[in-house]
Structure 1
Amino acid sequence: MRDVGRWVMRRVRLYRPDGNALRRRTDRIESFVVLVCGLLFTGSLALAFATGGALYRAGVAAERSGHWVAARVLRDAPAPRTSVDSVRAELRTPVSWTDVRGRTMIAEAPVFLGTRAGSTVRVWLDAKGRPGGTRPDRAMTVARAMAGATGTVTVTGGLLLGCFALVRRSLDRRRYAAWDVAWLAAGKPRGANPETT
């Protein structure tokens, strides 16, 4: 933990504006880019909260918008090929139900393997009246919201780090070119040992 603190303090000293006459123009540009990237990353946290909040609200709306209906299975679902009781795979099979207007609706809905024609099953209908799998639950809603917020921060942070790396590479090229010019002006080849020349 102390090493992380030292690293952070070195970065702060490196990039802070201190009026040091030895700082080159490229150093000041790099400090400015670090400041802009830091501010943009801080702004991405607000974007992450907004994304997570929007996903959460959409999930809660999906939870509340649908409803269960009792549907009759129209065709036998294939029997499971294994005798493992813990496996309850689902397969989309035609079912029928009566909607709120009294109309008979037919669509494919997920039913367990081995369900016989004529059986009554519970089917979750979404807000548009389409049969889905199961009712969205709160844990899935929270997980999607967290994944959306985390993904936003991760993508934004990665893009900002990539941009900073490109700017830093360009600035390093300028620094190396300036050093070459300075060494040549001093009459020494780059990389020469000052003690021996």
Structure 2
Amino acid sequence: MNGARRGWRWRHNPLRRRSDVVEAWTVLAVGSAVFVGAPAAGLAAGRVAYDDARATSVAQRQERHQARAVLVADAPPKASWSGPGAQASFRVPVRWETASGATRTGTVRVHAGTREGETTWVWLDRQDRLVAAPLGGTDLWTRVGSVAAGTGAGAAGTAVLVGWSVRRRLDRGRLAEWDRAWETWDGPERGQRGRRMA
């Protein structure tokens, strides 16, 4: 009985209206978009983002190189409130030598408690200026994941919004239809309603 009630919009019957058929197809389209289209869009966008991120990573690795730098100050100690396993880091001034032998200084992030005189690896561009590490590892996958998730969620949200808009429009049309039917109907309940309102 439940299945019969649930699928009544798909079967021909005298009570089925055109708006019921449109609503049934809208629900099917929105469901397909949310459960099939949105994941497919997310995967496609993630693939494009991955290819783009890989190309960016390769280009950055060609333009950047690593060098050893010496800390010229102590990093603050790890705070007691930071919790177990937390890797606190601080910006500390460092000094490095360029390929031509010139000395440069700048600030980089190092782990808490690193002492003056210790060395760390830094990334430099072709002019031996400090730059961020090339895109890779966790950063690459975070970028790809956020693009894929954002695209999938956006596609699903758009489908749901379109379905909701269609449903609202159909409901307004059905209400207008009922109002027109009520105006033209001359049954006993209509007369009683008129007397009550008067």
Scaled to the shorter chain, the TM-score interval is: 0.5 to 0.7
TM-score (norm 1): 0.65
- Equivalent residue for 2:183? 184
Show the counterpart of 1:57.
Answer: 51
8 A contact 2:122–2:130 mirrored in 1: no
Shift in Å at residue 133 of structure 1?
6.9
Structure 2: gaps of 5 or more residues: 193-198
SS at match of 2:73: coil
| Larger RCO, structures 1/2 (Cα 8 Å, 6+ apart) | 2
Distance 1:43 1:87, change over 3 A: closer
Alpha-carbon shift at residue 132 of structure 1 (Å)? 3.5
Give the aligned CA root-mean-square deviation in angstroms: 4.1
1:127–1:152 CA distance, 2 compared to 1 (3 A): farther
> Which blocks of at least 5 consecutive residues in structure 1 are unaligned?
193-197
- Secondary structure (helix, strand or coil) at the match of 2:80 reads coil
Report the CA distance shift for 1:47/1:102 in structure 2 as closer, same or farther (over 3 A): farther
Q: Contact 1:108–1:131 (CA<8 Å) still a contact in 2? A: no
Question: What is the correspondence of 1:164-183 to structure 2 with a 5 Å cutoff?
Answer: 164-183=163-182
Q: Which stretch shows the higher mean deviation, 98-107 or 159-168?
A: 98-107
C-alpha separation between the residues in 2 aligned to 1:62 and 1:38?
A: 36
Cα shift readout 1:17-41 (whole Å, capped 9, x = no counterpart) = x776754343344355456656765
* 1:101-180 → structure 2 map (5 Å cutoff): 103-124=102-123, 130-132=130-132, 136-137=136-137, 139-180=138-179
Give the 3 Å change call, closer, same or farther, for CA 151–87 of structure 1 in structure 2: closer
CA contact (8 A) 2:94 2:108 kept: yes
Q: What residue number does 2:77 align with?
A: 79
Q: Distance in 1 between matches of 2:125 and 2:48?
A: 19
For residue 44 of structure 2, what is the amino acid of its counterpart?
A
- The alpha carbon displacement at 1:157 in A equals 0.8
Q: In 2, Cα distance between the equivalents of 1:121 and 1:172?
A: 66
SS state at 1:123 partner = strand
**Equivalent residues of 1:110, 1:133 under 8 A apart:** no
Give the Å deviation of 1:112.
1.6
1:110–1:132 Cα contact (<8 Å) kept:
no
Partner secondary structure for residue 117 of structure 2: coil
Q: Which stretch shows the higher mean deviation, 46-55 or 127-136?
A: 127-136
- The count of residues paired between Structure 1 and Structure 2 equals 182
Deviation at residue 120 of structure 1 after TM alignment: 1.0
User: Does the Cα contact within 8 Å between 1:109 and 1:133 map onto a contact in 2?
Assistant: no
Cα 1:124–1:86 shift into 2, 3 Å: farther
- Structure with greater helix share of residues: 2
Stretch moving more, 39-48 or 156-165: 39-48
Letter matched to residue 48 of structure 1: G
Matched residue, 1:195: none
